[in-house]
Amino acid sequence: MAQRLATEYVKTCLQLTEADMLKFFQMFVDHGVTLQVKVLENGNQEVVFQDGAGQEIVLSFEKKSGLYECTGSCRLSNTLLANLMRKAVSEFKGSAKVNRIYPSYTMVYYYERGTVVKIEEIKGQLLTIVYEHKDTIGLMQMMFQKKEVEQEIEMIYDQINHLLDMRNMLQARDEHQQIDIRLNELTHRLFVLEA
């Protein structure tokens, strides 16, 4: 198996309550990571996480509407910090684009609400989608709830009935032909919609 050179967290976004912040910090401390927290004037916090090997992550948390929001990027060569960040993004329902960099390729993971939704492999100029989450149930529910086709079918039936009534009332042959042409168009559209 190829040795990972680095893990790059790009466009990482975490939104934490105050209780979540304490859990977040504790998760790193439990794995032997030291941290320094700087509380800024406006309530924002800057946190520096350091492992024993000298690798560090600097994350800024901005206080917004009672939540601490962390947005940013970091590059890690230490697997401990990389795994802790992965666990944090997953556990705290974050979103991120994560590049796992190997000597000859890069694996790109896309997280939404803590779940991997897409994985891509990049080798030189070649991009291959390895995995992509499809919300099949959600798509089916959305399609089931769409009623536009049924409404159009109902409207076409009304138009056909109206045209048939007009055809029965009118005696002129050229008017019959115009109505028949329109009826033909509507029945074809009806066939397409019902298929």
Q: Read off the pLDDT of residues 132-172 as tens digits, 9 standing for 90 and up.
A: 988 778 777 877 777 787 888 889 899 999 988 888 888 88
**Whole-angstrom Cα distance, residue 53 to residue 77?**
10
DSSP state of 93: T
Please give the residue that has the higher pLDDT: either 195 or 90: 90
DSSP state of 104: S
Whether pTM > 0.85 for this model: the answer is: no
Strand order in the sheet with 106-112: 34-39, 45-50, 56-64, 67-76, 6-16, 95-101, 106-112, 115-123, 126-132
Residue 2 has pLDDT above 80, yes or no: no
Mean pLDDT of 169-176: 83
52: left (phi over 0), alpha (psi -120 to 50) or beta: alpha
**Whole-angstrom Cα distance, residue 189 to residue 166?**
20
Strand pairing partners for 98?
9, 109
